[in-house]
Chain A
Amino acid sequence: MDISLQINGKSERLSVEPGVTLLDALRERLDVTGPKKGCDRGQCGACTVHVGGRPVLACLTLAATVREPVTTVEGLASGDDLHPVQQAFVDQDALQCGFCTSGQIMSAVAAVEQDVPDVREFMSGNLCRCSAYPNIVAAVDQVRGADASV
């Protein structure tokens, strides 16, 4: 079926089988490879993207059902300027191998935007086997602290 997607502000038209997930559409059809496939069944969070501003698991979302704009980790920075959450991940060393990082950052952006009461709980849908967890919390806190001081 023919579908159109808004990916990081860009309109994309493509033809996919109804069973194609948003994750495979992004990675295998559109070469948007920031979102990662860690489990393909909603258990690890590495594929987290924003649809209509909300974090969703791209591996559990059928591409053909997506109507709202999609933002992936590639769509956060403006030019060479990192998004504050991306910068905080660099500053706090909130990653090691980096494979879960795209998903962590998309969830962390949501944590900041929603001003969630418990960062550790909110971020618990994103597995990190390198176990950068305390640094991920520190990265979210860095951005929230900066916001608070404005």
Chain B
Amino acid sequence: MTARLDSPLKVTGRARYGSDHNPPGMVFGYVVLSTVAHGEVTAMDVTAVRDAPGVLAVYTPFESLELHTPHNPIMGATWVPLQDTDVAYRGQPIGFVVAETFEQARDAASLVEVSYRERTPLTSLEDGLAAAEDAPPSMDGSPHTVTVLASGVESIEDALAASPVVVEATYTTAPQNHAAMEPHSAVAVWESGTLTVYSGNQGSDLQAASLAQALAEPLSAVHAVNPFVGGAFGGKGATSVPAFLAAAAARDLGRPVKAALTREQVFTATGTRAATVQRLALGAEKDGTLVALRHDSWSSTPMSRAFIEQTSHSTSREWYTTPNMVISQKMVPLNIPPTTFMRAPGEAPGSFALESAIDELAVELGMDPIELRRRNSSLAPPGKDLQWSSKHLDECFGIGAERFGWSQRSEGGRVDGDWLVGLGTATAMFPALRFPASVRVTLNADDTAEVATSGADPGTGLLSVLSLIGADSLDIAPERVTPRLGDSALPSGGMSGGSTATASAGSAIMVAAPEVIDELLTLAAAPGAPFEGAEVSYADGRVLATDGRSLTFGEVLRAVDRSSIAAVGSSAPGEEMSKHSFSSFGAQFCEVRVHRWTREVRVSRMLGVFDAGRIINEQPARSQLMGGMIWGVSAALHEGMEIEADGRLANGDFASYLIPVNADIPDVDVQFVQYPDTLHNPVGARGVGEIGIVGVAAAIANAVFNATGTRVRNIPIAIEDLLDE
């Protein structure tokens, strides 16, 4: 186990995040947002702004910075600000004021007078359900509706009607904001025709490409640097509004520009998780065997329809064995802030619905919910031939039940003084994915090595993972490996997202390391080299000859007068995708205490047992899973964006958008079963960034039911949901 390698920099304040850069001559930009949710900006009076002290420039849709819509393979198109006068949501960026100081820019921005031609906004998912549209195909290309029926079964309705036991219910989940502690920000510097941007993002090379496209500059003219990212969670996958504006304004003004969103602006000017409504119907035999599953999902989406939260496709499509299944996904375009990927997109809200419904079925059957899940555990997604590569979910439940004292659980919970205590459980699944990635492995003459890729470590621990897999692949101690990331000048590491970075970058290291070792051996045996003509091999950081002689790789490099040698390795998903289905699995356990009189809900114990393949670095992996589980607590009991009828966000700051504080969180137990999944990738790791959150909200709602007998089908669960009629 290795401590997080960047911790010493982070605990001393020496880690420089995007907005911590202060180049000479820097000026400050402040973003102006719309104050209506739907309409058109007809005029912006900036006279007073221009007259304000220190103001250097004011950009609006009428006097804009030219920006072009960039595209990338993962994020699709990224919206760029100020290019037209349409307003599609309240809090949309419509202006940018640049001044000598932060205070001058902020104060001047408040003087902008905006005139709108307003239209009535649509902001309620519930009101929009009747006008819902079919969603576009999901990321794997599946159509909005997928039907799997056993032969002879005419429809899912028939299958449900023929089921001896049926539960049907509708669940809702609130829209959410990533709320990473670092607001989206950027410092942009142009020097000799080259742009350097310091801005937290989930992939520096993708960010550089997107800025180059937006600015119509060659890729070689854009350098993105972000070795430290103050949290992302999917919300920094796209290049941010401050990054586009700072970069364009810096080019226009010939001065470095710093721009940061305020916390309030982050809630609307970045991305959010959609609200969802989900209708579940489960049909089962009396012994619990699932015979029919229907999961219909509606998700809010912005008017651009750019991103759809796919809840049924991300859960019910794959989780349980059933001969008959219909899932569907619809979208409801609204005048709301953009939606985007947020930690376990689809799986997090989808698992609240599915795993609550499974618990309801267990209650209906009078069956232990773990036994019900075991009985319907899938060998492969329904209707697909490709079996799971490695699935140990039953073992997760077994270990979890034992550690958590599940056998002590009783129907109706137990009472402890004024507290009603209940236990709940849920399954967690998250697909095992990886993206194309390249990594450079360098051997240096001083017997150190470097492992370098452009990817990001937004708190995930990728930096340490590069060092550990690099050391393993080069057969040397991790202390001798210097990892580098967060710089678009390095080989393309792609995006830190989808719980992929360890599998993607790790696999590329395992390609690059043998290549650089081969080159070392060739050099070592070349004419004039120390092992000229000899048969040589490599182990333990040394070149070995059959006659017993050996030299370290540094000694070899010095002998042949080379300061370093390097190889770039690349990896991408391949033929394994045609052989198996891939997912991580987990069993979530939760104990809640509900106050008999106030109905306050407290989570008092949590346990997650995860089957995520090989764990590279246990301590940070455990931390990340724990963080995910606490996100589940937050979804279940704390957070939700409250959007008013006029599109205003009623709780867009940290005083009113609730996320857990230290006192809300008990000790969290995280356990692994470790079965390296080398069918998926050579590292055997399936990633731990997202699965932690999956299922937790359902486990909590199920525990609340166990404690109180009240089934809450919406999150976040509020006190009023638990008050007696």
A34 to B15, CA, bound (A): 8
B638 to chain A, nearest CB (A): 11
Q: Are the C-beta atoms of B659 and A127 separated by less than 8 Å? A: yes
Residues of chain B within 8 A (CB-CB) of A137 are 662
- In the complex, the chain A residue whose C-beta lies closest to that of B22 is A31
How many B residues, CB 8 Å from partner?
A: 63
Interface of chain B residues 314 through 335 with chain A (CB within 8 A): none
Docked-complex contact B103 and A97, CB < 8 angstroms: no
Instruction: Check B3 against A77 for contact (C-beta < 8 Å).
Output: no
**Binary CB contact string for chain B from 503 to 542 against chain A (1 if under 8 A, 0 otherwise):** 0000000000000000000000000000000000000000
B255 to chain A: closest CB distance in Å?
15
Query: Which A1-47 residues have a C-beta within 8 angstroms of B?
Result: 17, 19-20, 24, 27-28, 31-41, 43-44, 46
**Is B646 part of the contact surface with A, judged by Cβ < 8 Å?**
no
**Pair B103/A24 contact, Cβ less than 8 Å:** yes
How would residues 658 to 675 of chain B score, 1 for a CB under 8 Å from any chain A CB and 0 otherwise?
A: 011111111110000000
Pick the residue among A19, A82, A95, A127 that contacts B654 (CB under 8 A).
Answer: A127
Distance, CA A120 to CA B655, complexed state (A): 18
Residues 221-245 of B, flagged 1 when their CB comes within 8 A of A and 0 if not, give 0000000111111000000000000
- A87 contact set on B, CB distance < 8 A: 11
What chain B residues lie within 8 Å of A132 (beta carbons)?
A: 623, 626-627
| Nearest chain A residue, comparing its CB with the CB of B180 | A129
* A44:B660 contact, CB within 8 angstroms: no
Chain B residue with Cβ nearest A46 = B181
What is the bound-complex CA distance between A20 and B461, given in angstroms? Answer: 36
Q: Which of A102, A125, A134, A137 has the most CB of B within 10 A?
A: A134
Residue among A24, A32, A43, A134 making CB contact with B626, cutoff 8 Å: A134
Task: Return chain A residues, CB-CB under 8 Å to B11.
Answer: 73, 82, 86-87, 89-90, 95, 98, 101, 105
A98 contacts B630, CB within 8 Å?
Answer: no
Q: A27 to B17, alpha carbons, bound, how many Å?
A: 12
- Residue of B7, B28, B101 near A89 (CB, 8 A) is B7
The answer to whether B179 touches A129, judged by C-beta atoms less than 8 angstroms apart, is yes
Nearest chain A CB to B588 CB, angstrom units: 15
B8 in the interface, Cβ–Cβ < 8 Å? yes
- CB-CB under 8 A from B79, the residues of chain A are none
B20, CB-defined interface residue at 8 Å: yes
Any chain B CB within 8 A of the CB of A58? no
A93, A99, A120: which contacts B231 (Cβ < 8 A)? A99
B375 lies within 8 A of chain A by Cβ: no
Given A19-B103, A28-B102, do A127 and B661 touch, yes or no (CB 8 Å)?
yes
Task: Say yes or no: is A110 at the interface (Cβ < 8 Å to chain B).
Answer: no
Residues of A within 8 A of B229 (CB): 97
Give, as a whole number of angstroms, the nearest-CB distance from B20 to chain A. Answer: 4
Partner among A24, A34, A41, A120 whose Cβ is within 8 Å of the Cβ of B263: A41
Of the candidates A27, A74, A120, A133, which one forms a contact with B630 in the assembled complex, judged by CB atoms under 8 Å apart?
A133
B7 and chain A: residue at smallest CB distance: A90
Number of interface residues of A (CB under 8 A): 60
Q: Tell whether, in the assembled complex, residue B663 and residue A120 are in contact, meaning their CB atoms are under 8 Å apart.
A: yes
| Nearest Cβ on chain B to A78's Cβ, whole angstroms | 11
0/1 string, A132-150, CB within 8 A of B gives 1: 1111110000000000000
Chain A nearest CB, measured from B383 CB (Å) = 37
- Known contacts A41-B263, A97-B459; decide if A20 and B662 are in contact (CB<8 Å): no
- 1/0 per position for B667-691, CB-CB distance to A under 8 A? 1100000000000000000000000
Residue contact A33 to B662, C-beta cutoff 8 Å? no
Residue of B nearest to A137 (CB): B662
A18 vs B695: C-alpha distance in the bound complex, in angstroms?
A: 50
Within 8 Å by CB of A134, from B624, B654, B667, lies B667
* A131 CB within 8 Å of chain B: yes
> Does A123 belong to the interface (CB within 8 Å)?
yes
Instruction: Report the bound CA distance from A90 to B11 in whole Å.
Output: 7
Per the bound structure, the CA–CA distance linking A135 and B670 in Å amounts to: 13
Cβ contacts under 8 Å, B12 to chain A = 34, 73-74, 76-77, 82, 86
A36 B230 Cβ-Cβ under 8 A? yes
Taking a contact as CB atoms under 8 Å apart, the answer to whether B627 and A131 are in contact is yes
Residue of B230, B460, B662 near A123 (CB, 8 A) is B662
Distance from B236 Cβ to chain A, minimum over Cβ atoms (Å): 10
The reply to whether A98 and B627 contact each other, CB–CB distance below 8 Å, is no
Closest to A8 in B: B13
Pick the contact of B180 from A28, A43, A97, A124 — CB < 8 Å?
A: A97
A106 to B619, CA, bound (A): 23
> Which listed residue, A31, A44, A120, A133, touches B181 by the CB 8 Å rule?
A44
| Chain B residues positioned under 8 Å from A121 (CB to CB) | 662-663
Residues of the B chain whose Cβ atoms lie less than 8 Å from the Cβ of A130: 181, 231, 459, 623, 627
B458 within 8 A of A: yes
The reply to whether the CB of A100 lies closer than 8 angstroms to some CB of chain B is yes
Cβ–Cβ contact B102 & A24, under 8 A: yes
Per-residue A-contact encoding for B624-659, CB less than 8 Å = 1, 0 else: 101100110010000000000000000001110001
Given contacts A72-B13, A131-B631, contact A39 B263 (CB under 8 A): yes
Question: Do A33 and B459 contact each other (CB < 8 Å), given the known contacts A39-B654, A98-B6, A121-B663?
Answer: no
Query: Contact: A134 with B665, CB < 8 Å?
Result: yes
Q: Is B15 a contact partner of A98 (Cβ separation < 8 A)?
A: yes
Q: Nearest B residue to A107 by beta-carbon distance? A: B662
Contact yes or no, B263 A44, CB < 8 A = yes
- Contact check, B263 vs A43: say whether CB atoms are below 8 A apart: yes
Is B662's CB under 8 angstroms from A133's CB? yes
What is the CB-to-nearest-CB distance from A5 to chain B, in angstroms, rounded to a whole number? 17
Contacts of A41 in B (CB 8 A): 263, 653-655
Task: Say yes or no for B382: interface residue by CB 8 A criterion.
Answer: no
B559 to chain A, nearest CB (A): 35
**Chain B: CB-nearest residue to A136:** B662
Contact B626 A131 (CB under 8 A): yes
In the assembled complex, the Cα of A41 lies from the Cα of B22 at a distance in Å of: 22
In the complex, which residue of chain B has the Cβ closest to the Cβ of A139? B11
Chain A residues near B667: list those with CB within 8 A: 134
B498 proximal to A (CB < 8 A): no
CB distance from B463 to the nearest CB of A (A): 11
Q: Bound complex: CA of A94 vs CA of B460, how far in Å?
A: 13
Residue of A nearest to B668 (CB): A134
Q: Is B558 an interface residue, CB under 8 A from the partner?
A: no
Whole-angstrom CA separation of A39 from B102 in the bound complex: 15
Q: How far is the CA of A134 from the CA of B182 in the complex (A)?
A: 21
Q: List 26 A-B contacts (CB under 8 A).
A: A20-B103, A28-B101, A32-B13, A33-B13, A33-B17, A34-B14, A36-B181, A36-B182, A36-B230, A37-B183, A40-B263, A86-B11, A87-B11, A89-B7, A98-B11, A98-B230, A99-B17, A99-B180, A121-B662, A124-B661, A127-B654, A129-B179, A131-B627, A133-B661, A134-B626, A134-B665
Question: Contacts A124-B664, A135-B626 given; 19 further ones with Cβ under 8 A?
Answer: A19-B103, A37-B19, A38-B182, A39-B654, A40-B262, A40-B263, A44-B263, A90-B7, A91-B3, A93-B619, A96-B460, A98-B6, A99-B180, A121-B662, A123-B663, A129-B180, A130-B181, A130-B627, A133-B660
4 closest A-B pairs by CB: A34-B13, A99-B230, A97-B459, A98-B10
